[in-house]
Amino acid sequence: MTLRLILMRHAKSSWGDPGQDDHDRPLNKRGCASADALGDWLRAQGHVPDQILCSSAARTRETCERLRLDAPVTHLASLYLAAPQQMFAALGQATGKTVLMIGHNPGIATLAARIIDRPPAHLRFFDYPTGATLVTRFDAASWDTITNGRVVDFTVPHDLLDIA
């Protein structure tokens, strides 16, 4: 059986209100455009999830909404600033065949590097900037047994938009 995992770091968030709690920070204008473009890219490439696991933070929720994907979403407080082990635990409970997980650095970047057999040749993979999106395929029967995924695709918003 083949499973696909899409690991996405939230789009660019706003630091406009220095007193605002980190969990509540929204996307900024560039982040909104990036999330829209990432959703278009996912659909155009046929990387459409049937389940979404999303951190409960405002910026991840807004990223998810702007993707405009038709899949059930579960917002998990455990994914907010989660370590790779926490993300993997959440993924172990997934039921979809193609799952999108939206989270935060450094956890999402570390998880991405750990679960693939070979990194993509993209210069931005290891710093996993905001909006970075990895699509990986696993030959596994369940999410709690995945190892050594094969990279299907990787992009960052800069690849999709004319961002200075």
Can you give the pTM of this predicted structure? 0.96
Pairing of strands 73-76, 133-139: unpaired
Give the model's pLDDT for residue 164: 44
Cβ atoms 32, 61 nearer than 8 A: no
Give the model's pLDDT for residue 112: 97
Residue 125 has pLDDT above 80, yes or no: yes
Q: Burial level of 85, CB count in 10 A (0-12/13-18/19+)?
A: exposed
Residues 32-73 pLDDT 10s: 999 999 999 999 999 999 999 999 999 999 999 999 999 999
Q: What domains, with CATH codes, occur in the chain?
A: 2-160 (3.40.50.1240)
